[in-house]
Structure formats: C-alpha cells, structure tokens
Amino acid sequence: MPANKAKRALQVAQAIVSDIQLNAREAGDRLPQEEDMLARYEVARATLREALRFLELQGVIQLQLGRGGGPVVSRPQTRDFASSLSLILQFMDTDLRALLELREAIAPDMAARAAVRATNADLAALDDCYAQLERDRETAAFEETNRRFHDLLGWASGNPTFGLLTSALHLLTRDLAVELGYSAQERANQLRCLARVLNAVRLRDADGARRHMERLVKGSSEYLAARSPELVSQKVRWGDPG
Amino acid sequence: MPANKAKRALQVAQAIVSDIQLNAREAGDRLPQEEDMLARYEVARATLREALRFLELQGVIQLQLGRGGGPVVSRPQTRDFASSLSLILQFMDTDLRALLELREAIAPDMAARAAVRATNADLAALDDCYAQLERDRETAAFEETNRRFHDLLGWASGNPTFGLLTSALHLLTRDLAVELGYSAQERANQLRCLARVLNAVRLRDADGARRHMERLVKGSSEYLAARSPELVSQKVRWGDPG
DNA sequence: ATCGATTAATGCTTATACGTTTTTATGGCT
DNA sequence: AGCCATAAAAACGTATAAGCATTAATCGAT
C-alpha cells in the first residue's frame, strides 16, 4: 500500500487515537509514557514525538513537562476546529457575508432540534444566559453573552455538528466584528426574538422555535449588512487561535 | 516559556502562510527546502517539520519526496478539511444521523442561494451532471454521481462554506454508507426531486429550489433511517480520508 | 529518439547526547 | 521534631549527525 506506507508518524498518530477510543480514555487520563510507547509502536523517539506533537496541535492530547508528566488525553476543542476552518476559508477568499449566510441556514433548524431535545439542564442554562443577557443589554458584554446563548442552544440541539459549527462561526466572526456593536434598538429587537425562541423551546414547539430563530438571524444579517457593508465584505483570515 | 514554545510551530506555520500570500505563490510553486527554512525561521528541525506536517494535513502544502522534491504550494482541498472535521466529530461521538440532520439544515438554503447566483457555467455543469445521473440510474455509479450533483450545487451557491460543508459531508458519509445503495424506487424519487430543484434554479426561483430541496433531503434521510437504523447510528471515525 | 540504468537531491527515520522542568528525597539547621 | 534549602531522579525537550528510502534528473546504449 503506497498510501499507507508513507508518513510513519501519522500512522502512529492514528494508532494512538484508536487506542484512546478502544480503551475509552477520558479527558485527563494519562497515556503511557514515551518509553513504553517506543516499545509498543516500534519507532524511533523522534518519530513518536512528531506524532505526539501533531496530536497536540490537533487538540487530542496535551503534553505535560517534568517528572510525572507525559501525554494526557484532552478533547479536541472547537478552537482547534475553528482554526482549520478559517485556514481553508482564507484560501477560498471567504468573507463575513458567507459566514452570516451559513448561520442563517443552520440556526433555524438548530433551534427546532433544540426544542425537541433540550434537557432540563440545557433549559436551565439557557434561562440563566438569557437573564444575564438582559442585564448586559447596555454593556459591552452584550455581544459575548449573546454568542454564548447561541452556543448553548447549539449544544442543546443534541447534534454536535450544530454546536460545533455555531461555536466555530462565533470564533471566526469575533475577530472580524469586534469593533462594531449592535445599536440599542437592535439589541432590544434581538432580545425580543430570543425570548420568543426560548419560550418556544421550553414549550417543545419546534416549528415556533424555527420561525422565530429564522427571523432573528435574518434580521441580524440585514442589520450588519446595512450598517457596515465593508464589514461584511471582510475576508476571513487565519489568525492565532490560541 | 513552555506555553509559548508549544505554539512555536504554529507561528512558523503562519509565517509560511503569510509568505505564500505575500509572494502570491500559486499552487505548484516550490517553497524553499528544509535547510533554507531552518535558517530563515531559526527553529529546530523538529519544530519546522511539525509546522510543515500541520500545513500538509491542512492541504496548504504538499511534501514531495525525492530529488527536486520539497514543500510545494498546494490548495487546501475539501479532503483536508474533512479530515479535521472527522477527527473532532469522532471525539464527540457523532453518528451518521447527525450528519444527515446537518445536510437537511443547509441543503435547502444552499439551493436557494444557487438559484440566485448560479452562473451559466454552473448551470451547464449541473445539466450535464443531471443527464449523467439519469444514465446512471441503474448502475452502481448512481450514488457517486448523485453526490457530485450536490457538490456542484454547493459550489454554485456562491458561498464557499456551502460547497465546503457539502463536499465534506459526502466524504464522511461515503465511507460509512458505501455498502448500502438506494432502491430503484428511491432513486426514481430522488431524480424527480432533483429535476424540480434544477428547474427552479434555472428559473431563478429561490423559493421553489428551497422547497424541493427540503423535500428531497428530508425524504432521503427518512429512507435511510427506515431502511437501516443501525447504519445511521454508526459513528464517525477519523483516518479514512487521507 | 526511446527506454533503461545510474546518479544525485531530498525528505524520512534512527541513534545518541545533552539540556530543562518538575517532583521527590535528603539533610542539615533551628 | 519541624522546616527550608539543596541535590538527585524522572520525565520530557532540544540538538546534531548519520544512514535509509524515494524520486527526479541525467546519461548512455540500442
């Protein structure tokens, strides 16, 4: 197999990932130390280290220094995924407008799924976040809390892809749109919509959640496009994600 | 500082990307070889290799072996993005059902955008692909041509995120669903829907394209779920694409 | 002119030595 | 006995060099 023959380090990386899954390692668990892995995978130390550092970049493990240190299982975070996403989008000359369109596409369905699947814990977290959002309605923290609400809703949808994409989009847009906040009127408008979405979710009304969310994100996009055309034309750039 | 040192490879990777963009390197251009880069970025060999390996996985460069080889500028392809996506989704225990739900969410909007923005070249390609699909209606190539049609529609939407996600989802599902094809009846049904979508796109009827596409993907998901519940419960696994 | 063998350039892997960081143990001083 | 400082050990981190494997370019014979 020519495809498999190349890149021994990557093979080792995949083997380590398989091992993590097979042994059901949780985040925080310690993996065998380098010396044991050397014997296990029968490679040189430099090769093993390349595999480990590669996995570290991907967020699969963390490498702890010093005595008693070693590779520790981590969990790939949204940040790592967002980094990959922004890199490829940069090469495709993607602008903020495209990201907003994607959000328009997924947010309504996401809300509908959340209405069906949100757990009580999810609902409590959403309630808390909404209350916080009302307290932040006139502070600089509004945008951040707003993003957090959408993130929570994404993870409450019971579909990891929604939560992942929503969080990733927020990470990408945060760097671009940091200088521009919503007006007081727009904030009030968004709060109203969010309240309706939250209420629909609480009532397990999937259709209502979808409709109100659709209205919300569409309005948000139109607001940003009208307020600052050059902002939504900004190109995504791969920045230091962490 | 160990924390800063850990990100050194990413800094180098960013520097290389900046260099590519600043010098307007095209795909196929050769970058300086390892020895020169070592002097230029003043890092250890392992660090540089880590940066190169990272960029290789992201598809920014290709590492060619042998004489006249070295780092060559490439263009990030969907395959590379799909690899990152599958890695993180594996750790989130994502199953095929979640991927289908995501497709349900984005495909209708994607079709609507394509109806507005598709160029004549896009339309011609879609026509060709549809004709091919009718010829393939009773062969094993149907599924693949079907995927290609959706890919084309994604790129015709004028929004790279739609094309990217659609193609990535196809790469992820291809490995899982390879053993299960559509029935003749389901194929006929999908062909009918696709014809309606294509027609709406041709007429610049965004709403019609959205509705017909919604019907199509919803039907497809229901068909798969009914036909093979254990299939849609299969978990995404990293390591297939690449 | 073409095809095959040779050669050279390059990345890949291994091997070894030394440096750094953290924990642990020791030991002398109060 | 208790406590702080210093040394040792255990692990990862960095650096360098050498040989291996792979492939493109080159050369030569037919």
A121 touches strand D (CB under 7 A): no
Give the span between the Cα atoms of B43 and A173, in whole angstroms.
32
**Nearest CA among A114, A115, A236 for reference residue A168:** A236
> Do the Cβ atoms of A225 and A99 come closer than 8 Å?
no
Asked if pLDDT for residue A240 goes beyond 70, the answer is no
Give 10-residue mean pLDDT values along chain B (242 residues): 58 88 87 86 85 86 85 85 90 94 98 98 98 94 94 97 96 80 91 97 98 97 93 83 41
What does DSSP assign to residue A42?
A: T
Which nucleotides in chain C lie less than 7 Å from some protein C-beta? 7-17, 20-24
Asked if pLDDT for residue A2 goes beyond 50, the answer is no
pLDDT for the residue B2: 36
How is residue B212 written in tokens?
């017909």
User: Which residues on adjacent β-strands are paired with residue A95?
Assistant: A235
Element (H, E) at B133: helix B120-135
Does the beta-carbon distance from A161 to B99 stay under 8 Å? Answer: yes
Most confident of A37-51, A64-78, A205-219, B67-81: A205-219
B68 touches strand C (CB under 7 A): yes
CB of B240 less than 8 A from some CB of A:
no
Element (H, E) at B36: helix B34-41
| Global confidence as pTM | 0.89
Residues 153-192 of B with CB under 8 A from A: 159-162, 164-165
CB-CB neighbours of A93 under 10 Å:
10
Res. A70 pLDDT band, cuts 50 70 90: confident
> Do the Cβ atoms of A161 and B102 come closer than 8 Å?
yes
> Do the Cβ atoms of B31 and B71 come closer than 8 Å?
yes
Lowest mean pLDDT across A120-134, A228-242, B10-24, B144-158:
A228-242
SS3 of B14, please?
helix
Whole-number distance in Å between A40 CA and D19 C1': 24
Please name each of the domains of chain B with its CATH number.
3-73 (1.10.10.10), 79-232 (1.20.120.530)
**Nearest CA among A85, A195, A90, A64 for reference residue A133:** A195
What does DSSP assign to residue B63?
A: E
Comparing A61 with B69, the larger pLDDT belongs to: A61
Q: How close B121 gets to chain A, by Cα (Å)?
A: 19
Does the beta-carbon distance from A50 to B54 stay under 8 Å? Answer: no
CB-CB neighbours of B5 under 10 Å:
10
